[in-house]
Amino acid sequence: MNMNISNCIGAYSIDVESGKWTIIGASDEMNSALNTKLRNNVYKADDGDLFQIKLDSKPMACSNYNDICQPIAGIPKYCYGTSYGNSQIKKINEKLKEALSDTEIDYEKIKNYFKDCCRDMRVTLIQERKISGMDQDANKQIILDTYEQFRSSNSIMAKLVCDEKGERIAKENGWNGEEKDWVYYGADLYYLSEELRMLFKQAVEEISKEWGLSDIDTSVRDEDKYLSYSSSFNQVWENSSKYGARICSMIDTGITPPRKFSLFYRESMEKTNRIGFIQIEEDGKKSSQNVIFDKYDDGIQQNMKQYYNLSELFNISDSLTSNYLRNFDVYTRRIGTIKIRTE
């Protein structure tokens, strides 16, 4: 029986000369891991021609094999909700956090990694008898699920890198590393995360073309209902601020910040010193203000304002920055002990 090996996605193939194994359709990383795993189980005969291989009991799926082994279990509701998917999420988070922390992002490397994740997910689902590998709807879902996961991880990892920058500033301003009593917003991480988001869209187009699929609309996966409110860096930042330090809030997460803007706000942690510290930076120029912060809410500061809009505290000449300051409220008590803005 003649078989086109290029159609045998998920099947194992061996180069007899080199003894190197390949999973058809998988990434170089997955194939490298396979060969590392099998290295101690490959034996070359004295004449150099024979190999004895001990493989895990995974099915070698291909189009002919799938025809025989119907029915297929069906693709999961969300590909990254599986055991394999969860292991991949950890790797995706690590890769994106590393990229966002670098002084220069290797965009081509990230785009190729996105496509490799799609390839390896398809191979794994084939080997688990969840899909045939030839169904266009299943292949589209793999790509869309990968896009959704990369978008979510991108926003969350950008916020983590932002926090690492804020932590350094906090320690310079007396934070002891225990209870988080500060917030930091850096527009540079917003823009980096947005650049990566557009890169993911390019990767979707390229892997779709590679798999012979029609154009895939990613817009539906950009909605918060799919991304659990991690659709953007701003969304994650606002949620973290609301449920973390609870001393600052972003009014509209859809507003784009000035490119070189940052905000740092730390409450007072001393009962005898009820002063909070606010610092903003615009295009390398730093401005700071002190505000009364009643951490203990013991009634001594009953008449003080419950919150300030950031624009009330700074007189900035740059109109773009000045307008953006209106997008933040800073509180003089922890949220939960005050009436939050409702208008």
Residues 6+ apart with CB under 8 A from 89: 80, 149, 153
Q: What is the pLDDT of residue 1?
A: 39
Per the model's pLDDT, the better-predicted residue between 230 and 224 turns out to be: 230
Residue 221, SS3? helix
Confidence of residue 272 (pLDDT cuts 50, 70, 90): low
Confidence of residue 333 (pLDDT cuts 50, 70, 90): confident
Q: CA–CA separation, 23 vs 13, rounded Å?
A: 6
Q: What is the pLDDT of residue 59?
A: 43
Largest CA distance in the chain: 92
* pLDDT at residue 29 is higher than 50: yes
Q: Locate 273 and state its tokens.
A: 């010193």
Confidence of residue 206 (pLDDT cuts 50, 70, 90): very high
Per the model's pLDDT, the better-predicted residue between 289 and 47 turns out to be: 289
Confidence of residue 341 (pLDDT cuts 50, 70, 90): low
Q: Locate 108 and state its tokens.
A: 């081509």
Average pLDDT over residues 181-192: 95
Residues 6+ apart with CB under 8 A from 337: 297
DSSP code for 220: G
Q: CA–CA separation, 36 vs 42, rounded Å?
A: 11
pLDDT digits (tens, 9 = 90+) for 48-76: 443 444 444 444 444 445 454 555 789 99
Q: Taking a C-beta distance cutoff of 8 angstroms, is the pair 248, 265 a contact?
A: yes
pLDDT digits (tens, 9 = 90+) for 243-268: 777 889 999 999 999 999 999 998 86
Taking alpha carbons only, the member of 48, 163, 29, 11 closest to residue 97 is 163
Mean pLDDT score across all residues of the chain: 82
Q: What is the pLDDT of residue 52?
A: 45
Q: What is the pLDDT of residue 35?
A: 80
Give the H/E segment covering residue 248. Answer: strand 248-250
Q: Locate 245 and state its tokens.
A: 């330090």
Q: What is the pLDDT of residue 132?
A: 87
Q: Locate 136 and state its tokens.
A: 């266009």
Average pLDDT over residues 15-20: 78
Q: What is the pLDDT of residue 100?
A: 96
Q: What is the pLDDT of residue 43?
A: 45
Q: Is the model's pTM score more than 0.75?
A: yes
Q: What is the pLDDT of residue 41?
A: 57
Confidence of residue 4 (pLDDT cuts 50, 70, 90): very low
